Amino acid sequence: MYGLKYEPFFSGVAGGGFVIETDDEWGKVVDMTGKPSPTVTLIYKSSRDTFEYPSFLNKVTGKSGLLFALRHGDTHRFGAFINGPITPPADPAKTNGYKVPVFFFSLSGAYDAPTKIEIHEERQRVRVAGTQGAVKVKGDNGEPLANVAIGKGYLWLGFAQPGPAADLSRCQQWIKKEQLPAGFSGERDKDGDGTLAQSDNFTCDQMEVYHVQVK
């Protein structure tokens, strides 16, 4: 079904320690990517590979078409799809920023059903720090915040002020109110912007990255 390949494999059963729990959810998320009958392979799982940044980079670098799935608590499951690679800079003290198609999705918590959140073209960017650096805000002279920024800061991995945090479990996630589809029931800030987690600054309980490819 859908050409999916799991590591370890499971078919049609809830649970199993995966963020995306059922074949039905998988089918809806795969449809969001627009990729026909892809092979989906688990390449990073925080409970197996740790939240350490070098471990994460070792698993995901060099692969294009990356599906991030995160769980915060027992209720909020969500993620992002990067139709391209995670590419760290050649200099471990620098940051690499580039344009790449990105969308977000919610599985549970902020929406009652799997929902795709498309973002403005100007937000379809990723910034990746080297193992000795940090993604900053307000240009190169700004405050260091995180290891990875997806969607021009709609999702920060390894987030702290100042950052980066000790590992990738510390995150920040938010989306402007005008880019949230109808049906959003999650937490909002004073401006009406919302988060797909229980709160915009949070500790991730599980993070998975899948390689989505069409052969």
In a domain, 13, yes or no: no
Which H or E run contains 206? strand 206-213
In a domain, 192, yes or no: yes
Instruction: Say how far apart CA 199 and CA 178 lie, in whole Å.
Output: 19
Which H or E run contains 57? helix 53-60
Instruction: Say how far apart CA 134 and CA 183 lie, in whole Å.
Output: 35
In a domain, 8, yes or no: no
Give the three-state DSSP class for 168.
Answer: coil
pLDDT of residue 59: 97
What tokens appear for 118 in the block?
Answer: 């498309």
- Total structural domains in the chain? 1
pTM above threshold 0.85: yes
pLDDT of residue 16: 62
What are the residues facing 194 on neighbouring strands? 175, 188
- In the DSSP assignment, the letter for residue 82 is E
In a domain, 140, yes or no: yes
In a domain, 72, yes or no: yes
CB 130 within 8 A of CB 146: no
- From first to last of its 215 residues, the chain has per-residue pLDDT tens of 444 544 433 333 334 689 999 989 999 999 999 998 889 999 999 999 999 999 999 999 999 999 999 999 999 999 999 999 999 999 999 999 999 999 999 999 999 999 999 999 999 999 999 999 999 976 556 899 999 999 999 999 999 999 999 999 999 999 999 999 999 999 999 999 999 999 999 999 999 999 999 87
In a domain, 3, yes or no: no
In a domain, 16, yes or no: no
pLDDT of residue 140: 59
pLDDT of residue 80: 98
Give the three-state DSSP class for 123.
Answer: helix
CB 1 within 8 A of CB 23: yes
pLDDT of residue 138: 60
Residue numbers of the domain that contains 133: 23-213
What tokens appear for 44 in the block?
Answer: 């990073």
